[in-house]
Structure 1
Amino acid sequence: MSRTTRTAGWGRRIAAFLAALLLATAWGSVVQTQFNLQALVALDVDIPLQVRGATTLQDLAGFGPAYAGVVLAAWLPAFLVAALLVRAWPQARVPLYALAAGVGLIAAVRVVDAVAPMPVLIDATRGIGGLLSMALGSLLAGAAFAWWTRRRRSRH
């Protein structure tokens, strides 16, 4: 394999990683916003659709970058483990990366909660439903990364 081919392969992996990171971050940000708004609705606060949309966009811009850091911190060790396991089970590439991304996010959120001065950093993760909803986005993004970076068979 030539140096140019290797470099192009790394560029594709980095682009896929960043796209998957963006996907997981956007999903998690939207989920946490909707969980928080729903908690207000449960208190009989009327939240029109326009306010929901504006709040979601504000949270993507405000909370999104901080959440991207949590996802990145979760994924770096999780993807390393997945990469090592894929060497032994290459046919399980997509499920291994998906599982690593989902479990890694849950672990990272719980670690952050353990060191945060408040009871939880992300209120939506206080309950298992919110935590699993956010982890689902990470899981799907991990699967997307694995799919986008899989080896393609040549068509000769």
Structure 2
Amino acid sequence: MSKPLWRALFRPRPLLAFAAALLLATAWGSLVQTQYNLAALQGLGQSIDAATRWQTSLQDLLGFGPVYAAIVLAAWLPAFAAAFWLGRRKGAYLVCVVPLATSVSLIAAIRLIDAFAPMPVLIYATRTLDGLLAMAVGGLVGGLLFIWLVRPKADRAGDLR
């Protein structure tokens, strides 16, 4: 009899893959919201040079990044649980379900936070559908990274050819 799936997830490799995916999705979301904020300032006539854009991006990674990481983590824990329950047969199905779950869970978490935030939206970029979807792409890419990092060794051997 094989080990339950939850035991397989709490091994070093899946945990490191989860951490890497979380970092990628967090950095993506932080940078997306920074660029939306800077674009809004430019729309108001503010001139923003490349040095300011880089400095602001770095400051937001350090300042907003941890807050967004907590949002991503809160969204992903139930998303991963649902994805692995739905994809318990593994294979191609799981490869599709995890990235879908990681992106949809971010949309749900952001909209849930917005429902309780005193301001119209917590993250300016998510005021529009394109901004919300740009943030969700970070979840999708993070989910794909997770799947790529935990794929079986036989699949990884083919990468070197």
- When normalised by structure 2's length, the TM-score is 0.87
The residue that corresponds to 1:55 in the other structure is 56
Within 5 A, what are the aligned runs for 1:7-156?
Answer: 10-88=11-89, 90-153=91-154
User: Which consecutive segments of 4 or more residues in structure 1 shift more than 6 A?
Assistant: 6-9
Q: Structure 1 residue 85: deviation in Å?
A: 1.4
Question: Which residue identity lines up with residue 144 of structure 2 in the other structure?
Answer: A
Distance change >3 Å, CA 39–CA 109, structure 1 → 2: same
Distance 1:24 1:129 in 2: 17
Q: What stretches of structure 2 of length at least 5 have no aligned partner?
A: none
- When normalised by structure 1's length, the TM-score is 0.90
Q: Structure 1 residue 89: deviation in Å?
A: 5.4
Partner SS, residue 120 of structure 1? coil
Percent identity at matched positions? 54
Distance 1:105 1:8 in 2: 21
Distance 2:151 2:123 in 1: 33
Q: What stretches of structure 1 of length at least 5 have no aligned partner?
A: none
- Paired residues, number: 152
Q: Structure 1 residue 7: deviation in Å?
A: 8.2
Q: Structure 1 residue 150: deviation in Å?
A: 2.4
For the 8 Å contact 2:9–2:15, the answer to whether it is kept is no
